[in-house]
Amino acid sequence: MEAIRKQATRLREQAVLKQFGGYGASDSVVTDEAELQQHQKLEKLYISTRAAKHFQRDIVRGVEGYIVAGSKQVEIGTKLSEDSRKYGVENTCTSGSTLSKAALNFARARAEMEKERGNLLKAFGTQVAEPLRAMVMGAPLEDARHLAQRYDRMRQEAEAQAVEVSRRQAKVREGTGNPDMLLKLEAAESKLQDLKSNTATLGKEAAAAMAAVEAQQQRLTLQRLISMVESERAYHQRVLQILDQLESEMISERQRIEAAPTPHVDNVPPPPSYEEANDVSTSPAQNGSSNGTGYFLGEVMYSYHAESDVELNLSVGEYVVVRKVSNNGWAEGECKGKAGWFPFGYIERRERVLASKVAEVF
């Protein structure tokens, strides 16, 4: 039904334009230069207001499509924000909370951005689409068009009446002065004068109405376009602020991790000898409580290269079974089937470790 209605509207407009264009070829009525200019002005106004109406309608359709797509993006972004927040809250990683903090910061920033996008879509709807739709469907434009069409019909009627006057004038010239023919001629001429006078008056009214509508279309459409640009500009500025803050937080956290000092062992005495190790007292309290056997798992936080046969090579991310911790800063343990001593400050105790990581130790 909508397609049929649009087609009917288009055909009606084409018919009106055809009527407007047809007047320039008539020489029976359009003998007055002012009236001809009035007609041409109305024709241009009709074309101008029609083009502006179509442009406004295109803007409304584009904005409505943008709102539909944007609403879907808001939905997806909100889901991403919620998933990130959930991970940040429920994270059970045993090697620190860095990613949890980043996930929470990202969730907060994403939620703020989606809120700003929602505000933008709302502004597009209320400040752009609704005013232009009201203009397209409003009474001023239709009333002005009806006046122009009434002028067009009256002008055609005056043209037909002028033809009738010419026909009666010819009969009078050919006749013998029949009083009835003269009376009919006078009546036809009087009617023609009334039609021409009414046509001129209606033409001025129609032109004024169409000019007012044209000015309103130009002003309103420009205002709504400016409003749309300003709203989107403010949105992008706010999103940029949110992203700048998020980037600053994440970079700061990364720099903190990268700048973490590596333990110095320059002043640490060498690892105990085999004989000393057998008599040395262990001190599990240095690394927290130990299990019943005194053994525990530690995660390597800094790489260490063995400098003697009794020392153990360590790589970041590996896990070590710590069996002894000496009072002089060294620990003894096993990793990947090899045993030896290493600086105790290079590892951190882990309470919960994945089974696959435990398997790697042995």
Share of the chain above pLDDT 70, in %: 77
**pLDDT band at residue 31 using 50, 70 and 90 as cut-offs:** low
Token pair for 189: 């001429």
Token pair for 36: 């001809």
Strand-pairing partners, residue 286, are 288
Predicted confidence (pLDDT) per residue in 264-275, tens digit: 555 556 666 655
> What pLDDT score does 254 carry?
80
Amino acid at 296: F
DSSP state of 261: P
Q: Which residue has the higher pLDDT, 172 or 351?
A: 172
Q: Does residue 178 register a pLDDT over 60?
A: yes
Token pair for 360: 């790697």
Task: Give all domains of the chain, ordered by start, each with its CATH number.
Answer: 28-259 (1.20.1270.60), 296-350 (2.30.30.40)
Strand-pairing partners, residue 296, are 322
Mean pLDDT of 176-197: 84
Pick the closest to residue 219 from 104, 65, 79, 52 (CA basis). Answer: 52
**pLDDT band at residue 38 using 50, 70 and 90 as cut-offs:** confident
- What is the rounded CA–CA span in Å between residue 89 and residue 274? 47
> What pLDDT score does 354 carry?
54
Note whether 347 and 314 are within 8 A (CB): yes
Q: Which residue has the higher pLDDT, 293 or 275?
A: 275
Q: pTM to 2 decimals?
A: 0.62
**pLDDT band at residue 290 using 50, 70 and 90 as cut-offs:** very low
Helices 139-174 and 2-22, axial angle in degrees (round to 10): 40
> What pLDDT score does 2 carry?
60
The H or E element spanning position 46 is helix 33-90
- What is the rounded CA–CA span in Å between residue 107 and residue 120? 20
> What pLDDT score does 361 carry?
58
Predicted confidence (pLDDT) per residue in 53-72, tens digit: 999 999 999 999 999 999 99
SS3 content of the chain, % helix, strand, coil (to 5): 70, 10, 20
Note whether 172 and 184 are within 8 A (CB): no
Pick the closest to residue 319 from 343, 299, 291 (CA basis). Answer: 299
Predicted confidence (pLDDT) per residue in 232-241, tens digit: 999 999 999 9
Residue 45: what are its φ and ψ, rounded to 5°?
Answer: -65, -40
Predicted confidence (pLDDT) per residue in 87-138, tens digit: 989 877 766 678 888 999 999 999 999 999 999 999 999 999 999 999 999 9
> What pLDDT score does 359 carry?
58
Predicted confidence (pLDDT) per residue in 202-252, tens digit: 999 999 999 999 999 999 999 999 999 999 999 999 999 999 999 999 988
